[in-house]
Structure 1
Amino acid sequence: MNIRAATLADIPEISELLTQLTQDFIAPTCTEEGAAILVNAMSIEAIGSYFAMGYQYHVAITDSGQLAGVVGMKANSHLYHLFVASHAQGQGVARMLWEHAKAQCVAQGNPGVFTVNSALNAQAVYLGFGFVPLGPERDRGGIRDIPMQLTL
């Protein structure tokens, strides 16, 4: 498994992965309106705008060249996207991506404080990384999540 900085050429494949996994795993926990907003936020145009705004993306690529996962960081401290392809789940890819992104952020001056708005079904993963809930489950425009923080 190789983890590298994502490039503009990766955007269509990142969008495809995020859209599919969002539809499969996150949208069912949202209202119809919330699911539509969330899926739209995974479009090629949306991912391109995140790149343009300076979000830092890294991809995990299998030895055969297949996209296994993606991590996106906002403002060097907010874990914005962490998705692992179905074929690569259960192999530690999420942890590898997170550890890579975290190290990059610390190297770029993050003092060791990270946040994430966890999807309901991803909370256990983030708890395993050391994040703790900042409050109860929220419903923001039909999108349900749990705000979490990690302090190193």
Structure 2
Amino acid sequence: MFREFEGFEIRPAEADDAAAISALILSLQPYLTIEPDGSGAEEFLVSLSPDIIRRNLQDEAYRYQLAFDGDVLAGVVAVRDNAHLFSLYVGSPWHGQGVGKRLWESARAGALARGNAGNFTVNSSTFAEGMYRHLGFTATGPVAEMHGIRFIPMRLEL
């Protein structure tokens, strides 16, 4: 299933996409980790390796979708257990262009079609908090720090 919007195409991810997904997310590392160089976040950064992402792509608990600008990967979204927004990353050149919103809308629609009653959670980076609030998520706790990252637990109830 391919869907297009404003020059972008969204499609389900495949195991062969793991390296590109990893590269895109790791390019955003300074937005994600407490220390700009990633120190202290080694465990988190390992979880973004192509091997781990490939394993997730082959696990039925995860649903990944990708947004492409032509042949270039612009963003990725993943929902785990049909309820937790596990990943939503958009490459820096596409920030502010609606790619994250479209990816979320596609992932949300898929989760609802598979039986989600309208309840979602996410651990937002402090950088992305504004986007998640714009999408309707609200904080469920204070800013937390773990494994070299800072995040805000959030929930959306439709």
Q: TM-score range by the shorter chain?
A: over 0.9
What RMSD, in angstroms, separates the aligned Cα atoms of the two structures? 1.5
The residue that corresponds to 1:142 in the other structure is 148
Deviation, 1:29, is 5.3
Amino acid at match of 1:5: P
In structure 2, stretches of 5+ residues that fail to align are 1-7
140-149 or 101-110: bigger deviation: 140-149
Runs of 4+ aligned residues of structure 1 deviating over 3 Å after TM superposition are: 28-31
Q: Within 5 Å, which residues of 2 pair with 1:1-150?
A: 1-21=8-28, 23-28=29-34, 32-33=39-40, 35-54=41-60, 55-62=62-69, 64-150=70-156
Amino acid at match of 1:81: S
Deviation, 1:110, is 0.3
Deviation, 1:24, is 2.4
In structure 1, stretches of 5+ residues that fail to align are none
The answer to which structure has the higher helix fraction is: 1
Whole-Å separation in 1 of the counterparts to 2:33 and 2:65: 24
Percent identical pairs in the alignment equals 39
Q: Judging changes above 3 Å, is the alpha-carbon distance between structure 1 residues 86 and 145 closer, same or farther for their aligned structure 2 residues?
A: same
TM-score, scaled relative to structure 1: 0.92
Q: Judging changes above 3 Å, is the alpha-carbon distance between structure 1 residues 84 and 46 closer, same or farther for their aligned structure 2 residues?
A: same
Deviation, 1:32, is 2.5
TM-score, scaled relative to structure 2: 0.89
